């Protein structure tokens, strides 16, 4: 989080074996492209237990344009009431969670959250 201080973050927890996660990739790529110059960063956190051996080719094959980080058990422990993938959080510029989507996100609601944060 320190690396992204002062930016609005869309953090998406996903896994290569998750069909809804795959459906979100084009939406997240689009968000990344449209908002990257406005102070918004899209970040994916892969939660595959089989490590980066699956994630790296998946990222290339699906042309994921936003940064992907590898999550671990500590990441899941730090998240309160984590229900599984996909889960997406929207953080404000101070690092506070402003919106949470358990399961697939609604693009319109996510963008409304971003617009409100951009106006602050």
What three-state secondary structure class fits 23? Answer: helix
pLDDT at 111 over 80: yes
Q: What is the mean pLDDT of the chain?
A: 93
Q: Give the CATH number, domain containing residue 61.
A: 3.40.30.10
pLDDT digit string, tens, across residues 56-69: 999 999 999 999 99
Domain count, the chain: 1
Local confidence band at 10 (pLDDT 50, 70, 90 cut-offs): very high
* Residue spans of alpha helices (H) in the chain: 19-35, 52-61, 73-78, 107-119
Local confidence band at 29 (pLDDT 50, 70, 90 cut-offs): very high
CA 87-88-93 angle, 5° bins: 150
Identify the domain containing residue 79 by its residue range: 2-119
Local confidence band at 75 (pLDDT 50, 70, 90 cut-offs): confident
């Amino acid at each position: 989080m320190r690396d992204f201080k002062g930016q609005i973050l869309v953090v998406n927890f996903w896994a290569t074996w998750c069909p809804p996660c795959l459906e979100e990739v084009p939406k997240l790529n689009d968000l990344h492209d449209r908002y990257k110059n406005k102070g918004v960063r899209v970040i994916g956190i892969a939660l595959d237990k089989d490590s980066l051996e699956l994630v790296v080719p998946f990222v290339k094959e699906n042309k994921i344009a936003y940064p992907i980080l590898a999550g671990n058990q500590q990441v899941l422990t730090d998240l309160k009431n984590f229900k599984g993938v996909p889960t997406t959080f929207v953080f404000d510029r101070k690092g506070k969670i402003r919106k949470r989507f358990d399961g697939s996100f609604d693009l319109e609601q996510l963008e409304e959250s971003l617009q409100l944060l951009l106006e602050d």
